[in-house]
Every structure is written in structure tokens, then in C-alpha cells.
A and B are shown apart, each in its own frame.
Chain A
Amino acid sequence: MELQAVLMAAGGGSRMMDLTYNTPKPLLPVGNKPLIWYPLNLLERVGFEEVIVITTKEVQKMISTDPKVKLDVKMKLDLVCIQEDADMGTADALRHIQQKVKTDVLVVSCDLITDAALHEVVDLFRAHNATLSMLMSKAHEFTETVPGQKGKKKTGEQRDFVGVDDTGKRLLFMANEADLDEGVVIRKSIMRKHPRMHIKTGLVDAHLYCLKKSVVDFLADNKSISSIRGELVPYLVRKQFSKSTNSPKVIDETHQNLKKNDKIQISSRDEELLHLTQERSCWNDHRGDMSDAYHGGRLRCYVHIMDEGICYRVNTLAAYIEANRLAPKLFDEPAVHPSAVVSERCLIGADSIIGASCQISDKTSIKRSTIGVSTTVREKVKVTNSIIMHGVTIEEGCNIQGSVICSNAVIGRGADIKYCLVGSHSTAREHNSKIAPEKRLTECHRAEVNITYHYKSITYNNCHKVSK
């Protein structure tokens, strides 16, 4: 076995609470498939036969019981539950399964939707005997209007600064805006070894990492690190240039001094032979100074930056909407599920997906939208640019545009919903469901109305209006 896949699916989706209030993030429907299906499918496509899925009890229960959450993967899933309230980070989770880790690991986040060629990342890991290799992608501009958000998307995201060498593969530097006091500080030890460094911003970390087994072992000994992205990766990147990891003496030291566990052991079997190979090989990873290949370093981090292709992390509402828009391109399945009952006298755009056992009535028009499983759409309804989740009922004459309607919501007759987020199990009744019709035309106010019901009750007749 070369690599073990670990899927992190215990995250709560704290940046899109409106959506994840009722449905856990891994099971949010994207293109009528649970979000977790996408990374699983990615792993299955490249040939994994077994995946360790770290998740919560809730998700596990839903996967095993809920028919709507059909994962449809042939791989063997090894579900490992962690406690939700324990506030475990990704590194904690990895530490939790240390016993199961027998080889190097490929860690994937459950919210990754990508068509990246994984072998690029793994090949960097293989060819350079790297400690870490990861996937990054150019950040996408989300063009769709996000319901419930005022004006343009706020740039609340902290920027990442990523330094790579001339080849664009070796990861030299990594810093987040949040951690910086005044400007970027680059240590002299890096600059001495890599006088030319390209610092890039506007990259998205796909949260896909190849890690050596020794890193997992290192985590087990170092309880202070709790997050892979936040702490472990920057630590590894930094350690590439520290003297202590690179001198062979220290490796011996750690052998003797087992208490001193805060160092990563990178030594492998037949180290001498590898060294002999490197010594005889007329290859060098850099030019311009007198040092050997890799500057004699043993810890190496690599990054593959995707130039083109789809790579989204569905961790915000905007990304969720974008992912839904792109989802049909990612798999070859009929847009209209065979079990759906679709009237002949309705209009369904080619870029829409209709889920299983849906009922679509006459004179309805659906464009650029996703309709979830067992949803009922009555006559004369117009749905554009929207995401309708499972079990929603839309009464006659509704007009839904640019909205997200969560599971089991009921939209009353004649409702006119634009750029709204309707929470699950909520009901928008006919007499008061014309949501801010007066503001429909003004561009700047279109996202102001936000109905969010999170209660499992349909007795709430009135829409809760949040308006400015």
C-alpha cells in the first residue's frame, strides 16, 4: 500500500451556518449529490479502494439511514466518529486515527470539488521524496449574487502569501495576512538558499495534502498542533530551512534521546543507498551556489498550483452556489432523473438538474437551477438561478430567482422570491410571501431580504423579514 486516503468530514461549516443549521456540511446537496460525494468520487476515480472518513455521529447516522444521502461509491468507507463538541481540529483528527495510519497519507477535506489531476500532487510527493505536497488553485471570482448578502462580497478573507521557487513547485514560504504585523518577513536562511522566490497571492488552498507517515507520528507526539492548515503546514514549510532538521546529527540525537520528540524524523531505511544515489546522480534542484541538491535538506514541501480546471472549496454560501452551478459539468448523468415526473408542457433548461421522484407540473420554467429529490413544483412556477433542496413544495405561480430554498420548505402560492435564502422546514405562505416586491428592481437592495427559519414547524405563517 502506497497511500492511505483520509477524508475530513467533521467540519461544521461555520462560514455558512444558514445552510448547515439543519443539514451537516458533508451532506449538503450539491447538484443533488451530497457534498462528501465529490471528494469520495475524486479518490475513487484515481484508484483508491479504501478511505478513512473522519466524521461526526450525526453524519454517520444519516449516511446509514437517510435514503436521500446515497453516497454511491464502491470504495470501502471506514467511518471514524469524533465528538462534535470536543472542538477537534484537523490535526487532532489525524492524531486520533494514528493507529490506523500504516503508510503515507493523502488528506482531503470533504468540501473540495475539483477536477484536478491528483497524480500531479502525488508525483511531486513521490519523485522528490517530499514530506508534504499539497494542491493549490487560483482563486475564483464568484460571479453569482449571493442571497442574504448586501452588496458585493465582502473581502473578509485573509490573504495567504505563498512563496515558491523558480520551478513553481517547491513550497518555500507561507504566511497568512492575519499573522503578519507589519509586512511580510522572510528569513535570511530562506533567501540564502533560494535567492529567487515568487510570492503569490490569490491562491486557494484546496486542503489536499500528501503527508509522510513520519508527520502523523510527529503529530502524535506533539499535542499542541491542532490544525493541519493553520499550524502543521506552516510549521513544516518553516522547518525546511531550520538547521536542526537538516543536520544528520540531530537525527541520531533523536534516536538516542527519545524524550525529545519535537523533531520530525525523516530518516528512512537504506538512507545510505539513497545518499549514494544522490551523490552519483548528476542532478541538482538549483543553481548558483555550492550546495548539494535540495541544499542537503531532508524535509521538503511541494505544491502543485492548478492553472486551469475546477477547484472549489465549498465553505461559504457563495462557493456553494457556484459549485451548484458547475456541478452538472463534473459528472455524466442525465439532468432529469428517470424517476422524476416532469410534465411535457414545461420548460427545463439544459443546465438544470432535476432530482429523483420530483413532480414538475405544467407551464413551469426551470433555468440554471437544481431541483432536489422529492420536490414538488406546481403549475406556472418560474425558477431561475436557484437551488431547491430536497422535499420542497412550491405552489402555483411562484417566481423564484437567485435563491436557495433549503430542505422541506413550503413556498406558498404566488410567492415572489428573489435572492433569498429560505431555511429548511420554513413556510412562506401566500398572503405574505411577496417578499419585498417593491425592492425587486433596485439592484443594490436585491439581497436585502433574508428569510431564515430554522424551526421544524410549519405553524409559523409569517415570514420573518430582515430588511434594511
Chain B
Amino acid sequence: MKRESIVPAACAAVTYTVLCHPHHHTVFIVLTDGPGNKDDITRSKNEGKELSKEEKQRLRKQKKQQKKQKERKNEKSETEKEKTPVSLLPPPRPVATQKAPSALPAPASAPIPVPASAPFHSSPAPSPADKPAKSKAELKAERRARQETDRAAKQPGSSSSGIKTKVPLSELNPVVKRLPEHVQVDDPAVVKRLAKKLERQQIPLRSDYGYKVSLFSHLHQYSRKAPLTQQLSIPSTVIHPSIVRLGLQYSQGIVAGSNARSVALLHAFKQVIRDYTTPPNEELSRDLVNKLKPYISFLNQCRPLSASMGNAIKYIKKEISNIPSQCKEEEAKTKLLTCIDRYIEEKIVLAAKAISKYAIEKISDGDVILVYGCSSLVNNILCEAFEKSRKFRVIVVDSRPRLEGREALRRLVQRGISCTYVLISALSYILPEVSKVFLGAHALLANGYVMSRVGTSQIALVARTFNVPVLVCCETYKFCEKVQTDSFVSNELDDPDDLMVTRKGKTQLENWQDVSSLGLLNLVYDVTPPDFVDLVITDLGMIPCTSVPVVLRVKNLDQ
């Protein structure tokens, strides 16, 4: 099983420095992957591991020295430093993010072997402070220079192999992003590190179900039995009440679906910002970001963040750190609140409108449209199309355990749309009468794969065999830098107890845990390869799946 998830080189960083603290900017970047910093991030667990011992020791030493220096300099930065998790990288290397922009990100090309002697130190390494001031032309020149050095470095490097290539690799692309914690739960060291981090943030750790399906042991097995609030004080002091509420709603499924979760998150953040006051001797732009961090960890413990939420968080963090230090608190807060409102309006509400405008063009009279599960966007499209008096029929396909299709069915029927409801097992039976398939998405990955509710890829596959066009509807804010080719590497495991059914007072599988040879797997997402998707309808228009990286890059340049 392939475990590396590789994020391709997308483009040069333009605005990353805004996030940085002058003393430890690189550390910051590595972990936060700040807004707009869609640079080349090659994360591979193996690379991190295969640093030679001497290398590691050297890094450690450097770090220690840095720490000492900082302690001497001022205490404030010291405390902040503590909050940033440890990285494998020596902090003073802003070079890291400067990488050759490859025209189209090909995942395989990301780990480029380069010998140790690669002259990366000589490459232009602008200090973070002057970076945003650079003009585009300057950046371009810089990039070109780097490209050339890279190219020069590549040629001799292609022949070398083994450790020798790996070490310098991490130096060329020092943004070796660690695998995210949620996909290596089977590694005790990582779990310990996460527990430590949460303890520092005073966030309770989600309890494990204590049972694993073998192939998915690296993922966290969620359990609804012990809510996190059990471990929190009741008038919650560490976490803002609105965040606690939101966390509960996430974990109980009251707020479900990518869009709903993002809106709710932004709503909660608005309340946090409203109630926020900058402590004396602190800067809003720095302190608020730090304040949000434990909240985000808490929400992540309640339910793993969705890609859309990740993007929303990145955006907020960027907006916060963009606030100049001389800005008055009230002013800054109003600014942030309007930013959030604008984000919701533009990225979610107006995007949905634009998408339905495009999608309606694809719905013609007499169509039989198949939808799966409950996508708020697809529902919205169908309702709008119906209001525009298109004559069509909908087939709602549903699957256990969530049976979200019933909610979609209710919403569509309520509007007066004629619907048919089948379970996913009847898919091949129903498909011959279908003329189009509309699917929602959880996220669109950089390699064009569609991440969506589990079962979606099956629908796309069967639709392809029946030659029915598959249209995926997705807002661009759900586009994600991640690359994934299977549903194993990174996924969400919901509570296996949800699979139990109670009929007539009898619960089958009630004591399933007693049967040692039986395992229940409640997978939440799957990925659909771009081959099965004919079209992606986004707020930017109708594009093929493979254009996701282009959109991501265009978005980066905009920001």
C-alpha cells in the first residue's frame, strides 16, 4: 500500500512571508502552510526518516542554539516558539520555499534527487521582511535563476541513489512536510507527540475506539461513545463556547456536509473574533492566530477537518496576519468580520449561484438526473433548475449507514420535483434510464481525483460503463493541494457502531466486538479517478478534472 501522499510542486510562493515571525519563519511555514503559500511541498514520511544521524544531530544542535538565542532576545518569542511543533528543519532557511515552478505539477516529479553538493545556498535567499515588497518581475527573475540552478543540480544527481540522494533532497526541498498526524495513528511516536501538543493546548484527546480494521490501522477510529466535552470544564474556559458547540455539532453530525461545516466554522470564528480582546503587550495579528490554534485542534479532535474548512482556516489566518500592527483593535475586528462575511458570500453563496447557472445549462427537458447522497450544492442546482421550469426527473441514490439521501429526497420532493429513491445496490438496474449523473464533492484533489462520500466512485464507475455523463459540482474553495490515488492513505473512519441496525427492537451485530474475526469498517470518503468524471462544474466555469492544479495556481497568483 502506498503511504506517501505527495503534494506536487505548484508554483513559487509569493505571499508566504506575511505569516512569519521574524525569528522562526520557516518553522511556521512548514507547519501552517499559510494562506497563499501554495508552494512546492513534498511531504514524505520516508524522507524525513532517512536523514542521516549526523544530519539530525546537526539540526538538533542548530535548533538548540537558536532557542538559546531567542531566549536571550526576548521571552515573548520564546513562548510562541513553544507553541510551534517541532520540525525536522533548521529554522534559518527561508530558501526552502523558493522552488522552481514546474509548469504542470506532476506528482511523480516532486522528489528530485540532487547531490549533496548542490549549490542551493548560493541561490537567492531573500529575507522574509523584504519579500512581499518584491515586484513580479523580480520574482520572475529569481525563479528563473533557481530553475537554472535546479536544472544544473539535477543532471549529476540522476545517477546517484540511496541515502546520498535523500539527504540533499531534504535540503533542496526543505519543506519536507511531515505526514499529517491523522494518517499515522499507528505510529506511537506520532500519537505521543499529538497528545503532548494537545496537552499543551489544554485540549482533550479524542478517545480511541480500541479496535482497528487491519488496513486502516493508521487512521483514527472515531467513537461517539465518550464525547470530548466530558473532559472539559462546563463553563468552558479554555475553548470558546461557540467552538465547543460547533465541535459537538460536528461530532454528532448535526452540522454535516462540507459547505455547512465551513459556514458553521466561519460563524463560530466570527463569535470568537467578536469576543476577542488583545492582551497587553501583544499584537492582534500574532496573538489571535495563536488563539485560534487550540480551537482548530479541538475541532479536529471532534471530527477531522474537511478540505473546505482547511482552506477557510488558511484564509482567516492569512487575513489576521495581514492586519498591520498599528491597526486599532476594533477596526481590525470589524475588518476581519467583514472578511469572513465576504468569504462566505463569495466562496459559498455566490459560488453556488454561479455553479447552478452553469449547471442548469446542462439540464435539458426530459432529463433523468441521478444524484447520490445529500449534497447541498446539487440540491440547490436541482431546485433552481426546477424553478426555471426545466422538466426533469431525479433519482436519489442512497446508501447506509447515514442514509443522507432521504434528506435530499425530502428537500427535493418538498419543492415538487418528481423523485425516485433507490439504494446503491439497485444502481445498475436504474442506470439505463438515467441521462446524467450529478455528484457533489468533499474536495477536488490536485491530481484531478474527486474526494466525496463513500460510494461516489462506484456510481461514477457504473455510470461510465453505461455511458452516462458524470458531472461533478464543486466550489473552487474546496480545491485542495493534496494528491491521493486511493481511499486508504487518508480517510475518515466513523463510529463502527453506526453500522448496527435495530429492527423491531432487535439489534443485529450488537455484540460484534466479541467476535474476534469480525471487523466493522465505516469509511466516510472515497476518491473517484478523473477518468470517470466528464466535467467539473465550478464557479469559474466548466472544467475537466485535470485542470484543478491550474485553478489552484491561478488562485494563488490572485491572492
Contact = CB atoms under 8 A, between A and B. Distances in A.
A119 B376 contact: no
A46 interface: yes
Interface in A252-290: 269-270, 273-274, 276-284, 287, 290
Contacts of A118: 234
A283 B235 contact: no
A277 B264 CA distance: 6
A282 B344 contact: no
B252 interface: yes
Interface stretch (B9-17, B20-28, B407-415): B407-415
A284 to B, nearest CB: 5
By DSSP majority rule, is chain B's interface helix, strand, loop, or mixed? helix
Interface in B401-439: 404, 406-408, 410, 413-414
B254 A127 contact: yes
A273 B344 CA distance: 9
Nearest to B403: A287
The list of the 7 closest CB pairs from A to B, nearest first, reads: A47-B233, A282-B374, A281-B260, A280-B260, A2-B241, A280-B376, A46-B234
Nearest to B259: A280
A309 to B, nearest CB: 14
A90 to B, nearest CB: 21
A161 interface: no
B263 A119 contact: no
B410 A290 contact: yes
A5 B237 CA distance: 14
A123 B348 CA distance: 29
B259 to A, nearest CB: 4
A441 interface: no
Contacts of A3: 234-235
A119 B234 contact: yes
Given A2-B236, A122-B229, A279-B260, 4 more contacts: A47-B232, A119-B230, A282-B373, A282-B407
A456 interface: no
Contacts of A290: 410, 413-414
A159 interface: no
Contact of B255 (A46, A48, A283): A283
A350 interface: no
Contact of A273 (B244, B259, B263, B404): B263
A5 B235 CA distance: 9
Given A119-B232, A282-B374, A282-B408, A47 B257 contact: no
Given A119-B232, A282-B407, A287-B406, A273 B256 contact: no
A270 B271 CA distance: 9
18 contacts: A2-B234, A4-B235, A46-B233, A46-B234, A47-B232, A106-B234, A119-B230, A119-B232, A126-B244, A127-B254, A129-B245, A270-B271, A276-B348, A277-B255, A280-B376, A283-B255, A283-B407, A284-B410
B469 interface: no
Given A119-B229, A290-B410, A282 B267 contact: no
B253 A283 contact: yes
A270 B270 contact: yes
A282 B407 CA distance: 6
Contact of B244 (A2, A117, A274): A2
Interface string B212-233: 0000000000000001011011
Interface in A107-152: 117-119, 122-123, 126-129
A46 B229 CA distance: 11
B266 interface: yes
Interface residues of B, number: 43
B542 interface: no
Contacts, number: 104
B349 interface: yes
B257 A119 contact: no
B255 A281 contact: yes
Interface in B66-105: none
Contact of A128 (B254, B264, B344, B413): B254
A454 to B, nearest CB: 40
A222 B267 CA distance: 32
A282 B264 contact: no
Interface string A283-315: 110010010000000000000000000000000
Interface centre among B227, B263, B413 (most CB of A within 10 A): B263
A86 interface: no
Nearest to A46: B234
Interface centre among A126, A127, A280, A287 (most CB of B within 10 A): A280
Interface string A1-29: 11111000000000000000000000000
Interface string A44-56: 0011110000000
Contacts of A119: 227, 229-230, 232, 234
Nearest to B341: A273
B270 A47 contact: no
A127 B245 contact: yes
Contact of A117 (B230, B248, B270): B230
Contact of B235 (A1, A270, A278): A1
Contacts of A270: 267, 270-271
B376 A123 contact: no
Contacts of B413: 290
Interface of A: 1-5, 46-49, 106, 117-119, 122-123, 126-129, 269-270, 273-274, 276-284, 287, 290
A155 to B, nearest CB: 31
Contacts of A283: 253-256, 407
A274 B270 CA distance: 12
A74 B348 CA distance: 48
A238 to B, nearest CB: 25
B249 interface: yes
Contacts of A48: 233-235
B260 A123 contact: no
A127 B344 contact: no
Nearest to A276: B263
A271 to B, nearest CB: 10
A1 B408 CA distance: 38
Interface centre among A1, A4, A277 (most CB of B within 10 A): A277
A174 B322 CA distance: 54
B267 A273 contact: yes
Contact of B254 (A49, A122, A281): A281
B256 A276 contact: no
Nearest to A50: B235
Nearest to A4: B235
A2 B249 CA distance: 17
Contact of B344 (A4, A126, A276, A287): A276
Nearest to B266: A273
Contacts of B259: 280
Contacts of A269: 271
A280 B263 contact: yes
Contact of B234 (A122, A279, A280, A287): A122
Contacts of A287: 406
B528 to A, nearest CB: 19
Nearest to B270: A270
A117 B410 CA distance: 36
Contacts of A123: 227, 229, 248
A4 B234 CA distance: 10
B230 to A, nearest CB: 5
Contacts of B249: 127
Contact of A127 (B235, B248, B348): B248
Contacts of B271: 269-270
Nearest to A122: B234
A283 B261 CA distance: 12
A288 to B, nearest CB: 9
Interface in B254-299: 254-257, 259-261, 263-264, 266-267, 270-271
A122 B235 CA distance: 9
A281 B267 CA distance: 14
Contacts of B374: 282
B257 A282 contact: yes
